[in-house]
Chain A
Amino acid sequence: MISHPATATPPAAPVFPQPYRVVSSRAETADTVTIELVNESAPLAGFAPGQFAMLTAYGIGEVPISLSAVETTAEGRTRRLTHTVRSVGAVTRALHDAGPGAVVGVRGPFGTPWDLAAATGRDVVIVAGGIGLAPVRPLVHAVLDDPARYGALVVLVGARTPAELLYPADLSGWAREGAHVGVTVDRPAAGWTGHVGVVPALIPQARFDARRAVAFVCGPEIMMRYTAEALVARGVAADRVQISLERTMRCGCGWCGHCQLGPLLVCRDGPVVPYGRAASLLTVREL
């Protein structure tokens, strides 16, 4: 009809979740697992690091989860999705408990990816707090896989306690491959000899050249804010600091309204945004 031609509308979104099968589930901490999901017959379009999938526990609900590793087919489809999931509610508990063979629904890819191309020829500073290490993990892999393209790689990680530190074997492996890895915890345990304190405190001494650095930050909002401020204070331009925002999401397509942060629809304009775009929003309470 003329008043609203059907052909004028953009393509329908992926509303129906694509079934993926859990092929492995590995416990990371007391409440966190890393699951690998595979669909051989009809894989989704390729995900880029920083983007997220909406994961469905059938009959329970759906949550947005970033990728902690990605394996793409020759055709650019996503054969294997790796998600690190912390059990904090009904849906994430079901995903946490989904063992090999279980079917999980997947929609995506959604959101903005990390802009790793902006780091070509520059030092790469990756700062993560808690489960925020999961969405930046593919970045570490990408930089280590192509070291000639980048300058120094600095990975700074904070966790509440040593027992809640994600991927401890990866961290030492990354250090062996040449990354400068710094780890700090809020509350040490017996035998802990590393840093104690918040992760922004590691930034002043970290080995990178602020004038030629690009930073990727993911963690609790307060941690990202103070980390970004520390990076800017050291001389990193605000728009060379990328952060990954988190808000409630129901659709991933910009229709449900839940993920607003001021002018941003986080599912569409984020989750990855330049700090310069979000800085004034992060200082307003309850925005």
Chain B
Amino acid sequence: MASQTEPHTLTPAPALLDAAALPALFGALEARGYTVMGPTVRDGAIVIAELSSAAELPYGWGVDTEAGRYRLRRRADEAAFGHSAGPQSWKNVLHPARAKLWSADRTPDGSMVGGEPEHGRRFALLGVRPCDLAAIAVLDRVLTGGRYADPVYAGRRDGNLVIAVECTEPGAVCFCASMGTGPHADARFDLAMTEMLDGGQHRFLIRAGTPAGAEILAELPARAAGDDDVAHAAGAVAGAATRMTRSMPADGLPELLTASRESPHWDDVASRCLTCGNCTMVCPTCFCTTTEDVTDLTGDHAERWRRWDSCFDLDFTHLHGGNVRSSGQARYRQWITHKLGTWHDQFGSSGCVGCGRCIAWCPAGIDITREVAALSALRPAGDAADDGTGR
């Protein structure tokens, strides 16, 4: 694909695309056979769903979030991406909550033959926020970056076209700036857009990150962006970073969590945590799954299904003789320690991208940034606070 693209279109200058021209973007995606997945309003929330037209985007909808709170609200403008993270993430598309791993049928000699399901569709991911670009990169490392590639994830991830949308308004629970994952999109996209509505003009600054994105951009009714447009968009994104009210320490979290294994703070969290697992369901990187084997009445047809699981589930660590992590203290400790600490050991990065979903969707309003602050304050004496020298 890249070799057929003219050199001057590989890194085209940023362009301006009127919001009224978004249908042309949908047309270009559909012409290439993509199934477009993007945000839309459903069930009182902004969800990620298959979109058949630009009209399904959540024009004019924003959200109010706080710890334990998420509400749709009408905006004063018609912004299509004027909302922060919702209850779903791209995990729902790429690593679905339920997936059939295989089915098998008994042959006359009693053996079982079958295979894995085929993957047909190619997805265009439209409206990926920078924190979620980072989350997809985390899932890539976990599910395809090791010795084996997860065939379900790889099948849905391969061939994606990623269209990022930068954030110009942080949600109240966002802390991507402190995690270094946003609100600016600097890589991992085919196209990136910044929405602008000032002066009565609803338009996007749009730029390509790959030849595939450049090829699509070249087909759109976009016009060259001036330096002032580029500066205006960059300023809006930078302003979002400065208005973010929550933050996470940049360094020393693995050491803090290791030092906190016996912290008295786990009792405090457990007194509030319902161990419901909502945080793991909405987290864009929580990848844990379990399997369920099913059969028909004859026993001649068997299937294995995989579904999301949660480290908050009591059975998650079931072994003969009992569950390893039976207390709420141990289960919350596992979740936050894995997310911010041992994820580095296992997969070479943090598991947190600063999207704030776990804060908004916790029915008890437990806030991962505040729990880290509390653990830091209670860090056992003799274990010096992070001095900035790393691990």
A interface residues, Cβ below 8 angstroms from B = 1-4, 6, 9-13, 15-17, 19, 21, 56-62, 86, 88-89, 101-103, 105, 246-248, 250-251, 253-258, 260, 262-263, 265, 268, 284-287
Whether A105 lies near B309 (C-beta < 8 A) is no
In angstroms, how far is the closest chain B Cβ from the Cβ of A221?
9
Give the residue of A11, A246, A256, A263 whose beta carbon is less than 8 angstroms from that of B346: A263
Roughly how many angstroms separate A116 CA and B158 CA in the complex, as a whole number?
40
In angstroms, how far is the closest chain A Cβ from the Cβ of B112?
5
Whether A12 lies near B149 (C-beta < 8 A) is yes
Residues of the A chain whose Cβ atoms lie less than 8 Å from the Cβ of B329? 286
Whether A250 lies near B290 (C-beta < 8 A) is yes
In angstroms, how far is the closest chain B Cβ from the Cβ of A2?
4
Whether B154 lies near A16 (C-beta < 8 A) is no
Whether B113 lies near A62 (C-beta < 8 A) is no
Roughly how many angstroms separate A62 CA and B304 CA in the complex, as a whole number?
10
Residues of the A chain whose Cβ atoms lie less than 8 Å from the Cβ of B106? 58
Whether A58 lies near B148 (C-beta < 8 A) is no
Q: Quick one: CB contact mask for B154-186 with A, threshold 8 Å, 1 for yes?
A: 100111111000000000000000000000000
Residues of the A chain whose Cβ atoms lie less than 8 Å from the Cβ of B221? none
Asked, given contacts A11-B149, A103-B110, A285-B330, whether A1 binds B290 with beta carbons under 8 Å apart, the answer is no
Interface of B is mostly: mixed
Residues of the A chain whose Cβ atoms lie less than 8 Å from the Cβ of B101? 15-16
**Residue ID in chain B nearest A10 by CB atoms:** B149
Whether B309 lies near A257 (C-beta < 8 A) is yes
Roughly how many angstroms separate A9 CA and B142 CA in the complex, as a whole number?
12
Roughly how many angstroms separate A21 CA and B338 CA in the complex, as a whole number?
40
Roughly how many angstroms separate A262 CA and B113 CA in the complex, as a whole number?
38
Whether A2 lies near B262 (C-beta < 8 A) is no
Which of B68-76, B236-244, B294-302 is found at the contact surface with chain A? B294-302
Roughly how many angstroms separate A56 CA and B104 CA in the complex, as a whole number?
12
Asked, given contacts A4-B140, A19-B112, whether A256 binds B148 with beta carbons under 8 Å apart, the answer is no
Asked, given contacts A16-B102, A248-B316, A285-B330, whether A103 binds B150 with beta carbons under 8 Å apart, the answer is no
Residues of the B chain whose Cβ atoms lie less than 8 Å from the Cβ of A101? 110
Asked, given contacts A258-B288, A287-B261, whether A58 binds B295 with beta carbons under 8 Å apart, the answer is yes
Residues of the A chain whose Cβ atoms lie less than 8 Å from the Cβ of B294? 59
Residues of the B chain whose Cβ atoms lie less than 8 Å from the Cβ of A247? 317, 319, 324
Residues of the A chain whose Cβ atoms lie less than 8 Å from the Cβ of B159? 1, 4, 6
Whether A257 lies near B288 (C-beta < 8 A) is yes
Roughly how many angstroms separate A48 CA and B342 CA in the complex, as a whole number?
28
Residues of the B chain whose Cβ atoms lie less than 8 Å from the Cβ of A15? 101-102, 116, 151
Asked, given contacts A62-B291, A103-B111, whether A258 binds B160 with beta carbons under 8 Å apart, the answer is no
B264: CB under 8 A from chain A?
no
B247: CB under 8 A from chain A?
no
In angstroms, how far is the closest chain B Cβ from the Cβ of A152?
34
Whether A256 lies near B290 (C-beta < 8 A) is yes
